[in-house]
Structure 1
Amino acid sequence: MINNIGRVLHNLTEQLNFIDLEVDDTVLKCERSLWIIIQSLQKVKALVLKIGFKSEDEEILFFKEVKPQFTSKRIYYNSVYRIEMKKPSGSGRIIKKYYNNELEKLKRFFDDNLDFLQILSN
């Protein structure tokens, strides 16, 4: 089953790359990407329900390493979409200040979760 899910992940990555190359508008890019990610997650769920896991080790591998690859993409595009949708209209200075503020929030998040990130990288 992991091989089938690997193909779904590969197709998802190819579709996201295509969207990245073809769509210039960030909001539209995020909307299309999120739609494809949700469809892929539904395919994965259907595979899991239909085939199941061969062993406990395969199930652990799925939830520890495979599913996070899908979920991380969803979190990324949701975050970018949220940032872009809340972007104020105004001068370049106002927009720059907004993006710097959002960047600071992201830096704080990663600093606050540095221990967790170091555990994952080992």
Structure 2
Amino acid sequence: MDFKPFIDGLQNDLKEANLMISNPVKRANHAIRLSHTLLSLLRKSVVKDGFESIDKEIAFFKTIKTVPSAKLIYHSQIRSFELEFPKGNTNTQRKFIKKRLNRLNRFYHQHMDFGEYIESGRTHFDEKYFTRKYLNSFPIVSPHFYFHDPEFNTPKDMLLAEFMGFNSFLSYLQNRMIDQSKIAIGKPFDLNTQISLQWTATKSALTELIYALHYNKVINNGNTDIKEIALAMQQVFHFDLGDFYKIFSEIKSRKISRTKFLNDLASGLQSHMDNAEE
């Protein structure tokens, strides 16, 4: 089976989710479900069809299976981090991030030999590391995987996936630390870290606003994709819009006042200005 379309599909679905789902825990849950689904599909194919050669088995467990496995690990880490992230002051939050960074450093130190093997591009141990016949030849070193499926695991495929997932999570933590530092010293920071604004109108209202901004080309001279505008608005206002394409379709089907919210905005502003002049 050609697995590349499935991997590409997962990557595209995750990119789409990153634009459509602003809440990090909901986004992580969605990514975890997608990754689990693909891993299940891959397992069925491997158990049913096997591999034509050792080289293809190595390629699968080293470059194919590790993609959804790494995404699963990465988004599981994000979900855990965001759920446990303290609501206290900035110093408490910075300490929490540092503890997570220290955990990653301990992992890298514990597995530095394997990390060096992968980063240097070596392949001389690939048959032992990434084929199933050697599964029982190595001890289980990861605390997260007590059970290895003899039909769908090799001695090192999950360890490689951990490296890949943790590398992405490391970047995530580093960016969070930068954000906390900016908050601590009072410097400006990206809108997606603001905490003071909350959208309190309807999803339809926000959708009207997003489409109006997009089609009037008032952002980046109209060179910004509507998905990006939708993501930015959801992040700024801490509001999960959901399927805004469907919402817009419902707006277009209205029989009366398809731009009700925008009309109300203009009317409210006009009324305020009229009252101010009296």
Q: TM-score, normalised by structure 1?
A: 0.86
CA distance in 2, matches of 1:119, 1:52: 27
Q: How does 1:75-94 map to 2 (within 5 A)?
A: 75-94=73-92
Match of 2:9 in 1: 11
For residue 12 of structure 1, report the CA deviation from its aligned partner: 0.3
Letter matched to residue 103 of structure 1: L
Name which of 84, 102, 105 aligns with 2:103: 105
CA distance in 1, matches of 2:85, 2:46: 39
Letter matched to residue 40 of structure 1: L
Contact kept? 2:36, 2:68, Cα under 8 Å: no
Query: Is 2:20 the partner of 1:22?
Result: yes
- State the SS of the aligned residue for 1:83: helix
Letter matched to residue 12 of structure 2: E
Match of 1:68 in 2: 66
Match of 2:52 in 1: 54
Letter matched to residue 116 of structure 2: Q
Match of 2:135 in 1: none
Contact kept? 1:34, 1:77, Cα under 8 Å: yes
Match of 2:112 in 1: 114
Query: Is 2:38 the partner of 1:40?
Result: yes
For residue 98 of structure 1, report the CA deviation from its aligned partner: 0.9
Letter matched to residue 78 of structure 2: V
Q: Which has the higher contact order (CA 8 A, sep 6+)?
A: 1
CA distance in 2, matches of 1:60, 1:106: 27
The superposition leaves residues 21-63 of structure 1 with CA deviations (integer Å, 9 ceiling, x where unpaired) of 2222111111000011111111212222333322232122212
- State the SS of the aligned residue for 1:84: helix
CA distance in 1, matches of 2:48, 2:107: 38
Gaps of 5+ in 2: 122-278
**Higher helix proportion, which one?**
1
Determine which structure has more spread, i.e. the larger CA radius of gyration: 2
Contact kept? 2:25, 2:82, Cα under 8 Å: yes
Q: TM-score, normalised by structure 2?
A: 0.40
CA distance in 1, matches of 2:52, 2:113: 33
Runs of 4+ in 1 over 4 A off after TM superposition: none
For residue 8 of structure 1, report the CA deviation from its aligned partner: 0.7
For residue 16 of structure 1, report the CA deviation from its aligned partner: 0.7
- State the SS of the aligned residue for 2:51: coil
